[in-house]
A and B are shown apart, each in its own frame.
Chain A
Amino acid sequence: MVDCSFDLRRGGFHLRIACRFASEWTVIFGPSGAGKSTLLRMLAGLERGGAARIGVEDKEVADLPAGRRRIGLLTQQAALFPHLSVSANVSYGLHGMTREARSVRVKEMLELVEAKNLADHRISDLSGGEVQRVALARALAPMPRLLLLDEPFSALDGKASNELLMRLQPWLRERNIQVIQATHDATDAFLTNAEVVLLQDGQIVAQGPAFEVLQTERERLTRNLSAAQKSAS
């Protein structure tokens, strides 16, 4: 459960949000520039400023640095460390574990994303899709309580992306890891049976089950189109 409120001004952009993400998988849906990425970065602790309150499982984390929030973030830019191997990247966030335990966790994560054959590879040898799989394994390895996904599977084709999402969902559910995913692709929302939050111009305009929120959005667009047609005729 994530309970948050933000009031942040950046130039002409104003992010003003107060909401609760209670579903195990929430999709933040909205056009480019709506504030999806900023919202995720604020939750992760990478953006600061303005008035912010972030409760994760009833624990206030707004004052904690990013690394102590137990929040994973995976973005379109995978940002793997180019000078480290795949397994060193995946184990980077594993602290306070024995070498054996780290090794087991790295293997488990790479198996989850179907990349166990890449363990010793250099990052420069990976394809775009492989990079995103490894980045997902790295984000999950420390077992965050919240995983933020910012359009992270753009380099995977539709089929591979869907398969990975299907494989990921039960694994995350078993470990009680909540997901908030930012996307402009409505398919992701239907595929994951997520709760959808509709974000526009830095504000939440609708929140609820995917079929409901996206239907409302469709109706709104249809109404706008009809109104435009009437005024044109």
Chain B
Amino acid sequence: MDWQALLLTLRLATLTTAILLVVAVPLAALLVLGRSRWLVLVEALTALPLVLPPTVLGFFLLVLLGPRTALGRVIIGVLGHPLAFSFSGLVVGSVIYSLPFAVQPITAGFAAVNPALVDAARLLGAGTPRLVSTVLLPLARRSIVVAAVLSFLHTVGEFGVVLMLGGDIPGATRTLSIVLYDQVESFDYAAAMRTAVALLTMSIVALVAIYATGAGRRMSQGDRRG
């Protein structure tokens, strides 16, 4: 087992999940509570990584964050190095790639809260931040758990974006998925099996944990709460 790659993968997934939750909660609140017709565009862009091949996304990010674009040059100016082929670049790529896995469960959870409760909170003077923190989040807490677990697992299993954007640098961008690919390429099937079983075990344990809390079933049934 490549412990360095395992730790790097867990660090990447944890950081990505934390950032995604911070980004996804206000985004989901905007999608559920907002009234602008332009929100359809936001919703479509958020879902784009679901249908876009990971290598295509990785390629665009590689170009966008590289020295050929203004954004890339600004980043190089600030950090002193390009985001591509660095751990920070992997985090940016993972956040974008796993965005729908965080936003969609939370949006579904918020949308399932009884609209009469939202009206009641509004009438009692709650602005959007208070409405989200005191009504939507507590009532959709299982959706938050689902979003966190799905984002974490999706980042752990990510391959295409990581390879395109991060390459295969030990200790910096080599995750377990890349290790598995390298092991298969070098015909080391015994090591590949151990890596694959480790990834599989992580996924099964996390999903069983979700369904044991009932959150998974509730999410798939789209129940109304409150």
Given contacts A81-B226, A82-B139, A83-B139, contact A138 B119 (CB under 8 A): no
Given contacts A81-B226, A82-B226, A83-B139, contact A67 B117 (CB under 8 A): no
B114, B116, B120, B122 — which one has the most chain A CB atoms within 10 A of its CB? B120
Given contacts A82-B139, A83-B138, A83-B139, contact A66 B123 (CB under 8 A): yes
Decide if A77 touches B125 in the complex (CB within 8 Å). no
Decide if B124 touches A142 in the complex (CB within 8 Å). yes
- A139–B120 alpha-carbon span in the complex (Å): 9
Chain A hits for B135, CB < 8 A? 81
Closest to B114 in A: A79
Q: Is the interface of B mostly helix, strand, loop or mixed?
A: helix
Say whether A158 faces chain B, with CB atoms less than 8 Å apart. Answer: no
Q: Which of B116, B127, B225 contacts A75 (CB 8 A)?
A: B116
- A67–B122 alpha-carbon span in the complex (Å): 5
Q: Which of B119, B121, B127, B138 contacts A92 (CB 8 A)?
A: B121
Decide if A93 touches B125 in the complex (CB within 8 Å). yes
| Chain B 122-135 near chain A by CB (<8 Å), digits 1 or 0 | 11111100000011
Chain B hits for A83, CB < 8 A? 138-139, 226
Tell me how far the C-beta of A85 lies from the nearest C-beta in chain B, rounded to whole angstroms. 13
Q: Is the interface of A mostly helix, strand, loop or mixed?
A: loop
Tell me how far the C-beta of B47 lies from the nearest C-beta in chain A, rounded to whole angstroms. 28
Q: Which of A34-48 contact B (CB under 8 A)?
A: 44-46
Decide if A66 touches B226 in the complex (CB within 8 Å). no
Decide if B139 touches A68 in the complex (CB within 8 Å). no
- A67–B128 alpha-carbon span in the complex (Å): 11
Decide if B117 touches A68 in the complex (CB within 8 Å). no
Given contacts A79-B116, A79-B117, contact A67 B124 (CB under 8 A): yes
Decide if B123 touches A71 in the complex (CB within 8 Å). yes
- A144–B95 alpha-carbon span in the complex (Å): 45
Instruction: Please classify how large the interface on chain A is, using the bins under 10, 10 to 19, 20 to 34, 35 or more.
Output: 20 to 34
Chain A hits for B225, CB < 8 A? 82
Chain A hits for B126, CB < 8 A? 67, 92
Tell me how far the C-beta of B69 lies from the nearest C-beta in chain A, rounded to whole angstroms. 41
Q: Which of A73, A79, A95 contacts B125 (CB 8 A)?
A: A95
Q: Which of B114, B116, B127 contacts A67 (CB 8 A)?
A: B127
- A7–B40 alpha-carbon span in the complex (Å): 28
Say whether A33 faces chain B, with CB atoms less than 8 Å apart. Answer: no
Chain B hits for A82, CB < 8 A? 139, 225-226
Tell me how far the C-beta of B121 lies from the nearest C-beta in chain A, rounded to whole angstroms. 7
Say whether A31 faces chain B, with CB atoms less than 8 Å apart. Answer: no
Tell me how far the C-beta of B143 lies from the nearest C-beta in chain A, rounded to whole angstroms. 14
| Chain A 121-162 near chain B by CB (<8 Å), digits 1 or 0 | 000000000000000001100100000000000000000000
| Chain A 65-108 near chain B by CB (<8 Å), digits 1 or 0 | 11110011101010111110000000011010000000000000
Closest to A138 in B: B124
Chain A hits for B122, CB < 8 A? 45-46, 65-67
Q: Which of A45, A77, A92 contacts B124 (CB 8 A)?
A: A92
Q: Which of A68, A71, A81, A142 contacts B120 (CB 8 A)?
A: A81
Extra inter-chain contacts (9) besides given A66-B119, A67-B127, A79-B117, CB under 8 Å: A46-B122, A46-B123, A67-B123, A67-B125, A71-B123, A75-B116, A79-B120, A92-B121, A93-B124
24 contacts between A and B (CB under 8 A): A45-B123, A65-B122, A67-B127, A68-B125, A71-B123, A72-B123, A73-B119, A77-B116, A79-B114, A79-B116, A79-B120, A81-B117, A81-B121, A81-B134, A81-B135, A81-B226, A82-B226, A83-B138, A83-B139, A83-B226, A92-B126, A93-B125, A138-B124, A142-B124
Residues of A within 8 A of B (CB): 44-46, 65-68, 71-73, 75, 77, 79-83, 92-93, 95, 138-139, 142
